[in-house]
Amino acid sequence: MAFRFTSCFLALSLLFASALRADPIPVRHSQGTERGFLQIRSESGAILGHGDLFQTAHGSRVTSELILHFKDGSIDDETTVFTQTGTFRLISDHHIQKGPFFHTPTDILVEANGNVTSHSIGKDGKEKVETQHIDLPPDVCNGMVGPLLSNISPTAQPFKLSMIVPTGDKGRLVHLNISPTTSQKFADVGLTYTATVFRIHIELGGVAGVVAPVVGKQPGDLFVWIAEGTAPQFVRLLGPLAEGGPVVSMELSGTSFKDAGGDAH
């Protein structure tokens, strides 16, 4: 009976995953040159650090770098290059996390040709460089979640995107189950605006996806606020920035939200 239940569960999971699988996101709002200032807060509201977003656009090619500086000296630095011709397509994403805020340092480069290069420190204390090839689906979204969700209607049905995440000294392909959950008010310089809150659930897949919730290693859900209107824009992310990390709020400087505890449900 247990075998039949497990087989049925896996079959339903595969069917559900297939139904949600998405093509690349169509370009409805082109990304341009911009500069953004962010702050990182703990669940209690304490300021943990600040961030800078630098984005430039040349023709259909966009380069975006998000740098987070933590008070404890930790750094989260991600540089993403993508195109926006008809649909959004990743060219490369280089993500570095280091310092005491992160349990495990990360240095991973994902390229459109499927090469995934990870830098790690071996047991002998020496740097280890591992390059693997992963067949990337066209909807891979590393470093592009904010721009992509800015192109999704608040009334959209649940959908799925792909992402490469670091696992030790290698990368792993996972899927993000994404759905608009609700609209919430937020304030900026005394004015009130409305944002769509998207829930992002990371689906590990395979045996790991079945076992992870049992052993407590299933990553926590993320919530992303996108300001509604003629020019949708990322305004907030709530969730862990790395596996096993604490829940934080990363938001545009000057914005404020009513949910003091950060509960997006």
Would 209 be classed as within a structural domain? yes
Among 135-144, 195-204, 218-227, 242-251, which stretch is predicted with the lowest mean pLDDT? 218-227
Residue 111 domain flag: yes
Split into its structural domains, the chain has a count of 1
Number of helices followed by number of strands (H, E) in the chain: 3, 15
CA 256 vs. chain centroid, Å, equals: 21
Q: Give the end-to-end CA distance of the chain in Å, rounded to a whole number.
A: 36
In-domain check, residue 113: yes
* Domain containing residue 103: 2-257
Distance CA 117, CA 161 (A): 21
Asked if 264 and 250 touch (Cβ cutoff 8 Å), the reply is: no
Q: Is residue 263 part of a domain?
A: no
Q: Is residue 264 part of a domain?
A: no
| pLDDT value of position 216 | 42
Distance (Å, rounded) from C-alpha 156 to C-alpha 15?
Answer: 20
Query: What is the distance, to the nearest Å, from the Cα of residue 61 to the centroid of all Cα atoms in its chain?
Result: 20
Per-residue pLDDT at 207 exceeds 50: no
Within 10 A of 247 (CB to CB), how many other CB atoms are there?
A: 15
Task: Give CA 199 to chain center in angstroms.
Answer: 11
Q: Report CA-CA distances (Å) from 41 to 101, 227, 257.
A: 13, 19, 12
Average pLDDT of every residue of the chain:
86
Q: Once rounded to an integer, what is the mean pLDDT over residues 186-191?
A: 91
Average pLDDT of the residues in 154-182:
94
The pLDDT of residue 120: 83
* Alpha carbons 221 and 200: distance in angstroms, whole number: 6
Residue 128 lies in a domain: yes
Inform me whether the pLDDT recorded for 4 exceeds 50.
no
- How confident is the model over 130-145, as a mean pLDDT? 96
Q: What is the pTM of this model?
A: 0.84
Question: Residue 244: inside a domain, yes or no?
Answer: yes
Residue 262 covered by a domain = no
